[in-house]
Amino acid sequence: MCLLHKVAHSDERGIVCSALSHRSPDNPLRHAGMLPALAGIEYAAQALAAHCALLARGRPGEPAQGLLAGVREVALHVARLDDIDAPLTVRAERLVADGPRLLYGFMIEAGQRELLNGRVAVVLGAQATA
């Protein structure tokens, strides 16, 4: 599932992506006929995964898979995303990189309107166990 439309900018520190999928009736994160604002966390996770992949480009070996380890300080400024007409701008900034442990701050906005923000922790190379 790819929710992002394109990468608008990326550098060592962070990434800016755009998304149009929040308006799609086929969005796999829709629930009860709507796309809740909490789904924005997945948009942020995909942006930081894209950032990690871009940083790893050209390095030998397989790109590291990551495990979402935690989400903190999420502030929702809207209840849902599917009623937002403008494209989403998804910003993720790497705050901490301590070996395989990463911490990103994220913000999702539409135009000049901030929709949600928070922090996401990821552990690279972690294998999910059942």
Per-residue pLDDT of 33-67, as tens digits, reads 999 999 999 999 999 999 999 988 867 665 568 88
CATH number at 38 reads 3.10.129.10
Query: Bridge partners of 66?
Result: 124
**Which residue shows structure tokens 């903190």?**
72
User: Domain limits at 70?
Assistant: 6-124
pLDDT at residue number 67: 87
pLDDT at residue number 63: 57
pLDDT at residue number 19: 98
Residue 26 domain flag:
yes
Residue 129 domain flag:
no
- The structural domain count of the chain equals 1
Please check whether residue 52 is in contact with residue 102, taking contact to mean a CB–CB distance below 8 angstroms: yes
Phi, psi of 87 (to 5 degrees): -60, 150
pLDDT at residue number 130: 42
34-53 in b/e form (b: 16+ CB < 10 A) is ebbbbbbbebbbbbbbbbbe
Residue 118 domain flag:
yes
Residue 1 domain flag:
no
Which parts of the chain have pLDDT scores under 50? Answer: 129-130
Q: What does pTM read for this prediction? A: 0.91
pLDDT at residue number 99: 84
- DSSP structure class, residue 64: P
